[in-house]
Amino acid sequence: MRIADYSVTRAVLERHGFTFKKSFGQNFLTDTNILQKIVDSAELSREVNVIEIGPGIGALTEFLAEQAAEVMAFEIDERLIPILGETLSAFDNVQVVQADILKVNLAEQISRFRNPDLPIKVVANLPYYITTPILMHLLESGIPFAEFIVMMQKEVADRISAQPGTKDYGSLSVAVQYYMEAKVAFIVPRTVFVPAPNVDSAILKMTRLPQPAVEVADEDFYFKLVKASFHHRRKTLWNNLQAYFGKDPETKDWLTRSLEVAGIAPSVRGETLGLAEFASLARALEAEKG
């Protein structure tokens, strides 16, 4: 019997008197076929370390531990620590860390792997309410994660993997695709969770690019430009840039010159621009500023 089998999950929760906390976004997966598909998508081996975020009672952790070199699972809810100690007692290659992934010193924790030099993949069922902050925190940490295979709300997965010119494409798409190649692996229905969430989920597979998708001189400026360009989706690029940088004659002149140099029409909308076009505009803005 697997931890994820509904009868086992129910028995563990009842034995420990566990009640779900809405504030932690807890939804436990009770479908072993889907867990197997997640692990298959992750393409694990004994030459890969795994970081899991929000292991719950260990349903996914069990599958990960069977295939990875080592699993480090970060759980914010201290009530789940003794439960995980019980459900994962058969595995000597799992470390459970009671911590908030957004506040922990990740580099220090990773150094505690038996072999910290192995490639690291993040495989997790992310809490819906904090999916984007967790992803951006990990991407911007400077730690060279090889891949992310993560479950999230389908709508968020669609936004991250969206291409220019589509309704889902936005600053989040650009932010993630700057670092990773992103694609939806498969959809997970809401019916396979306890308790069932209000929306369907998706497994998103993100593979780190050997270098960022585009070359920019100043990453901070690049991402500020991207956010500014999407600030009001229905407005033109020109209106969004003016709203962010200013409307005085000198600024307007600078924006006009920069758009010309980049070969981008002021009348387009931000959602039509790809990463390379944003990079071209960022370079032009920096060059023309001087």
- Nearest by Cα to 34 from 148, 200, 208: 200
Contact 176, 184 (CB under 8 A): no
Neighbours of 199 (CB within 10 A): 12
How is residue 192 written in tokens? 């396979």
Question: Which of 253, 228, 252, 151 has the alpha carbon at shortest distance from 192?
Answer: 151
**Angle (nearest 5°) at CA 120 between 70 and 5:** 50
Binding-site members are: 27, 29, 54, 75, 100, 125
In the annotated binding site for S-adenosyl-L-methionine, the residues are: 27, 29, 54, 75, 100, 125
Read off φ and ψ for residue 70, nearest 5 degrees.
-155, 150
**Dist. CA 221–CA 218, nearest whole Å:** 5
Beta strands in the chain (DSSP E): 28-29, 49-53, 70-75, 94-98, 120-125, 147-153, 180-188, 193-194, 201-208
